[in-house]
Amino acid sequence: MRLLPNGALRRIPRQGAPRSSDPAASRHRGDDDACARGLLAMLMLTVALGIGACSNSDGTPPEGAEARSGGWIGAWGAAPYGPFPAGPLTALGLPLDPLGMTALSLFVNQQAVDQSFRMIVHPTIGGTRVRVRLSNLMGDRPLRLRSVRIARRLLGPAVTPQTDTPLRFGGATEISIPPGAEIVSDAADFTFAFGDDLAVSYHVVGESGPMTWHAVSFGLNYVGLPMAGDVSGDTTGLSFVEQPSVGWFFLSGIDVLAPDAAGTIVAIGDSITDGAYEIPESNTRWPDFLARRLAGAGIEMGVLNEGINSNTVTTVGDTAAEGPPLVQRFERDVLQRPGVRSVLIFEGTNDLSAGVDANAVYADLLTLVGRARAADLCVVLATIPPRDDACCGWSRAAHEPQRQALNALIRNTGGIDAIVDFEAVLASPLEPTRPNPLLFAPDLLHPNSVGFMAMADAVPLDALVPPPMGSCGRSTTH
């Protein structure tokens, strides 16, 4: 991983595979429409029921992947992809508005124009000194941002005025992020606790061009009106209340200075890791519950959720709507994150439903394990839970034998630190090859928040955490 000095830039290649002409890939894309409709319906039901190498700014090259973290760890993260509106709801034409709450007038020609943003995040560890990561991964031009700031969220888009803290980039209040690059702010004094919601606000100067985002956050974020000027400093949030969104734009991470902490755990996967069908605004994804377990045990570690809806391990996936496959984004979303000590890899169900053979999926998983071990990370692999969905292309006759074959391979993997058996956790006690309906959303593909809690409780902390609380003796890097 690279530690970027204050205001430094990193060029991140657009890690995407061309669309495949393979029949499996075509079936996969066809299944996305049905899955998107299922996602929309389920999100609405849940609400009703529950509520990326370039030079640094000083001209020197960024530090190499072997560089130490300098005490910085990841407090929050989201894997960037896109460009907007590509995502799991693209087929419906409602990527920002599955709740029917806005007039769908957020953007002009699918880009921000002289427009302010307020992104709400829930960090997995507290601290007193922070820096923010912003991405122009999918841009075709420099992205100009000004008035970047961070504050503790009060309610909705409102923030606590006394916590509103401006951020700088190499000492400047405005920054231009080249296409394909990620920028890290200067460090700033800012105190927050585990459990706080934070608001990162900023203003896009002029036209953004194609927008990097992370679709479907299952929590509300806020966007100002187009051509309304810079309202990023509005602590009342009144400039944002008419334009809520459910995606994170440009924001890819928040780091905290924690030199005594044990490092960062990266949870990487697909929609189940991303938190599909959690109770909105509840922060009850399984990585959120994992962070609560760590905090409750007095273990000071950050947890980064790098899941992407509909993501695949192999290159079978459509890299626009589903993000680059895991084999292509592993460097960016795991190895280049700050202070990483360990990784939990949980992905493969979307490959199977697209017709990829279990052996091919497992071969790519082994490649990722090798890359993580080469980076001196502790590694946990997860089995694939049972599913009985009609929405997303699952054929019990064709795909269930492949799922069982993949899980058998995962359980017999050598050279890793542990296995977490999500299949056993989420299976029906009456029929182990089928999902437990009490732990799943009605689609019988995605766990509900109760299922997410059960998943987090099953994660073997010992394999991810250093002594004396665990057995992961590897050093934090990057």
Average pLDDT over residues 381-410: 96
Structure tokens at 66: 């072997």
Q: How far is CA 51 from the centre of its chain?
A: 23
- Using the predicted structure, report yes or no on whether residue 97 has a pLDDT greater than 50: no
pLDDT of amino acid 19: 38
Least confident of 4-13, 201-210, 341-350: 4-13
pLDDT of amino acid 61: 29
Are the C-beta atoms of 415 and 443 separated by less than 8 Å?
A: no
39 three-state secondary structure: helix
The DSSP output letter for 416 is S
pLDDT tens string 434-443: 999 999 999 9
Q: What is the pTM of this model?
A: 0.88
- Using the predicted structure, report yes or no on whether residue 28 has a pLDDT greater than 60: no
pLDDT tens string 452-470: 999 999 999 999 999 999 9
Which of 148, 214, 212, 208 is closest to 175 using CA atoms? 148
Kindly report the number of other CB atoms within 10 A of residue 100's CB atom.
9
Residue scoring higher pLDDT (43 or 272): 272
- Using the predicted structure, report yes or no on whether residue 250 has a pLDDT greater than 80: yes
pLDDT of amino acid 449: 96
Residue scoring higher pLDDT (235 or 4): 235
β-partners of residue 127 are 192
pLDDT of amino acid 90: 59
Residue 18 burial (C-beta neighbours within 10 Å; 0-12, 13-18, 19+): exposed
Where helices occur in 173-248 by DSSP H, the ranges are: none
Cα 117 to Cα 224: distance, rounded to the nearest angstrom:
6
Q: How far is CA 228 from the centre of its chain?
A: 29
- Mean residue pLDDT of the chain comes to 86
Where helices occur in 309-437 by DSSP H, the ranges are: 326-330, 349-353, 358-374, 396-411, 422-426
Cα 329 to Cα 232: distance, rounded to the nearest angstrom:
31
Least confident of 81-90, 214-223, 320-329, 469-478: 469-478
**CA atoms lying within 13 Å on the CB side of residue 287:** 32
